[in-house]
A and B are shown apart, each in its own frame.
Chain A
């Protein structure tokens, strides 16, 4: 955790220096970041509480049978379907995904969950339909479902090979 924070801090500093030299927008960048944080803070806090509750409520047997690495393809399919249902932004979704992972879900399931949420999450559909039309939504859904399933299977394979 400390190493990751240090790396993120270094990247942020590098971008700050880059902006200072190239765009002179470095202070605006800081303000934008802080504004974005303040705007999303209530969502992050609520999502973390929700995730903490999910962690203690989710039955171990369910995770073991349906979401763990041992669940195999079944876990990936549930991950894909679950991701579509998570119709929220990243600040709300990612803590929930984390709680499912901490409860014992397999890597394939978690990857399928994040992939299908990011590609097919229901919160995007109204925007897609409004601007791109129904045919586009249908095509993207079919493609997105197969790609999320594929990503989950790759994750499952990585888990079997390396963990």
Chain B
């Protein structure tokens, strides 16, 4: 978080200086004007989005996900694991240690891929942010365009690795 803030501050400073040297104070003020305009427009929506995310975080927990993932397979399993992946409301620093828990289980690799691609493609907790910070139209089209991605990725993985598990692949075993 701190690194992101520092990186973003440096990037903002560089781009403000770039604006200053390109078009002087007027261009910098124009950029700030647009930024504050967007803040005013999206402010309440951002607040609502975070309140929504907070409620969502209370519904989905890791035990629930674990229970579901260990009881599914086939195409139905792909769809369910992609949807459950989309419900995982955590960042990569918590998500991958959680995924690593499945190393010892017999969870097929294609189910894991559906889960991971579902997490990053669907990420339901991100929908409000995409709507408020980009645009409702783009958010809708983005979801429509990427809807089949976790399923296609999992089907390709099934074609390549069949029912092999993550731990089997890591140890170069075949079934």
Q: Which A residues lie at the B interface, using CB under 8 A?
A: 1, 4-5, 8-9, 11-12, 15-16, 18-19, 22-23, 25-26, 28-37, 39-40, 42-57, 88-92, 94-95, 97-98, 101, 107, 110-111, 114-115, 118-119, 123-124, 127-128, 130-133, 135-136, 140, 143-144, 147, 150-152, 154-155, 158
Contacts and interface: CB of A to CB of B under 8 A. Distances in A.
* Closest 10 A/B residue pairs (Cβ): A33-B54, A52-B35, A15-B55, A94-B133, A25-B58, A131-B96, A37-B50, A52-B34, A29-B55, A32-B54
Contacts of B141: 107, 111, 155, 158
Given A5-B44, A48-B35, A53-B16, A135 B169 contact: yes
A118 B121 contact: yes
A132 B99 contact: yes
B96 A132 contact: yes
Nearest to A3: B136
B15 A158 contact: no
Nearest to A126: B92
A94 to B, nearest CB: 4
Given A101-B138, A128-B96, A43 B59 contact: no
Given A23-B59, A155-B142, A52 B54 contact: no
15 contacts: A8-B132, A29-B57, A33-B52, A34-B50, A53-B19, A53-B31, A98-B133, A115-B145, A127-B95, A131-B97, A147-B146, A147-B152, A151-B149, A152-B145, A154-B144
A6 to B, nearest CB: 9
Contacts of B12: 46, 49-50, 53
A85 to B, nearest CB: 12
B142 A49 contact: no
Nearest to B91: A89
B51 A30 contact: yes
A18 B39 CA distance: 30
Given A47-B8, A97-B133, 17 more contacts: A12-B55, A28-B54, A29-B54, A33-B50, A34-B50, A34-B51, A37-B47, A43-B1, A50-B11, A51-B35, A52-B38, A56-B31, A94-B134, A115-B145, A119-B117, A127-B95, A158-B141
